[in-house]
Amino acid sequence: MHADSWALKAKKLGFRSRAVFKLEEILTKTKALKNNSFVLDIGSAPGGWSELIKAMTPSSHVYAIDLLPMDPINGVMFFQEDIMDIDEIKEISSLKSKFNLVISDLAPNLTGIRAVDEENIFDLNIFTLKAALNYLSKSNGSFIIKTFQNSLLKKLRTEMEKSFHLVQTYKPAASKSKSGEIYLYGEGPL
């Protein structure tokens, strides 16, 4: 399907972004989302992923963080904060090791200088990975992170492999082939 058709489909179904279909495909394949889960949505605005989690599992407890504001979603606790300050959010930091699923759609601002952008993406991804490991349940935790196909992707995947029993790479159909975005999945924190 063409990228615009995904956007149209999202609008028709009442979702805020076409990013929902990328997450939906990964969740369907991995079966990572269960009823009554604690879910942490990092880089959540405008809110498509949080909406999808609540639509798929209304009993889930969703906590969402973004630098930008986000219109309220029923049953989603939103914090307008930098991910770097996650430990300062007491409602979230009191749930360390309690989350069943951490999803990150974060993307840093790009400078246009390839080497700098690749480093910035890598650093943000590594910070997010470490935060996810802090907040995920050891016995039942999964992590989905958006990243980009670049020279540091292999290094990131290696870090994921050191952190999870199972690691997989996904390129969902709804992700524009030109965009270079790609998703890593980790299951079972080590």
* Residues making contact with ligand SAM (CB under 6 A): 16-17, 19-20, 43-49, 65-68, 82-83, 105-108
Helix locations, the chain, DSSP H: 3-13, 19-30, 48-56, 90-93, 114-135, 153-163
Nearest-approach distance from CB 165 to ligand SAM, in angstroms: 26
Pairing of strands 101-104, 38-42: parallel
Nearest to 35 by CA among 54, 20, 63, 15: 54
Check 138, 146, 154, 178 and give the catalytic one.
146
Q: To the nearest whole angstrom, how small is the minimum distance from the Cβ of residue 128 to ligand SAM?
A: 9
Beta carbon of residue 84, minimum distance to ligand SAM (angstroms, whole number): 6
Cβ nearer to ligand SAM, comparing 86 with 153: 86
Q: How many residues does the chain have?
A: 190
> Phi-psi region for residue 27, left (φ > 0), alpha (ψ -120 to 50) or beta?
alpha
- CB of 46 or CB of 188, closer to ligand SAM: 46
Between 13 and 67, name the residue whose CB sits nearer to ligand SAM.
67
68 versus 90: smaller Cβ distance to ligand SAM: 68
CA 128, 20, 92, 96 torsion: positive or negative? negative
Contact 133, 163 (CB under 8 A): yes
Helix-helix angle 114-135:153-163, to 10 degrees? 10
- Least distance in angstroms from the C-beta of 187 to ligand SAM: 20
- Among this protein's residues, is 12 annotated catalytic? no
**Residues known to be catalytic:** 146
